[in-house]
Amino acid sequence: MPTLPTSPAAGSTCGPATDELLAAARAWRDDDPDPATRAELDALIAAAEAGGDDGAGDVGEGQGDGEAARAELADRFAGMLEFGTAGLRGALGAGPRRMNRAVVIRAAAGLVAYLQAEGGRPDPAVVIGYDARHNSDVFARDTAAVVEAAGGSAMVLPRPLPTPVLAFAIRHLGADAGVMVTASHNPPQDNGYKVYLGDGSQIVPPVDAQIAAHIAAVASTGSVPMAEDGWDTLGDELLQAYVERAAAVVSPDAPRDVAVVHTALHGVGSQTLRMTFERAGFPAPQAVSSQEQPDPEFPTVTFPNPEEPGAIDAALALAAEVHPDVVVANDPDADRCAVAVDDHGTWRMLRGDELGALLGHAMIARLSARPDAERRVLASSIVSSRLLGAMARAAGLEHRETLTGFKWIARVPGLAYGYEEALGYCVDPDAVQDKDGVSAALLVVGLVAQLRAEGRTLLDVLDDLAVAHGVHATDALSVRVSDLALMPALMERLRGERPETIAGSPVERLDDLAAGVGGLPPTDGLRYHLADDSRVIVRPSGTEPKVKVYLEAIEPVDGAGDLARARATAAERLAAIKVDMAALTAL
Q: So which residues are the catalytic ones?
A: 184
Half-sphere exposure of 209 (CA within 13 A, CB side): 2
Nearest partner of 192 among 135, 146, 142, judged by Cα? 135
Q: Coil, strand or helix: which one is 184?
A: coil
Residue 277 and residue 258: Cα distance in Å, rounded?
A: 11
Contact (Cβ atoms closer than 8 angstroms) between residue 427 and residue 439: yes
Rg (CA), the chain: 25
Distance of CA 100 to the CA centre of its chain: 20
Say if residues 330 and 336 touch (Cβ distance below 8 Å).
Answer: yes
Q: How distant is the alpha carbon of residue 551 from its chain centre?
A: 20
Among 547, 552, 545, residue whose Cα is nearest residue 529: 552
The string of DSSP codes covering 519-565 is: TPPP-S-EEEEETTS-EEEEEE-SSSSEEEEEEEEEE---SGGGHHH
Whole-number Å distance between alpha carbons of 180 and 161: 10
Name the pairing type of β-strands 535-540 and 526-530: antiparallel
Q: Within the chain, what is the greatest distance between any pair of CA atoms?
A: 80
Answer whether 353's CB lies under 8 Å from 310's CB: no
Region of 230 (left: φ > 0; alpha: ψ -120 to 50; beta: rest) is left
SS3 90: strand
Q: What is the 3-state secondary structure (H, E, C) of 19-31?
A: HHHHHHHHHHHHH
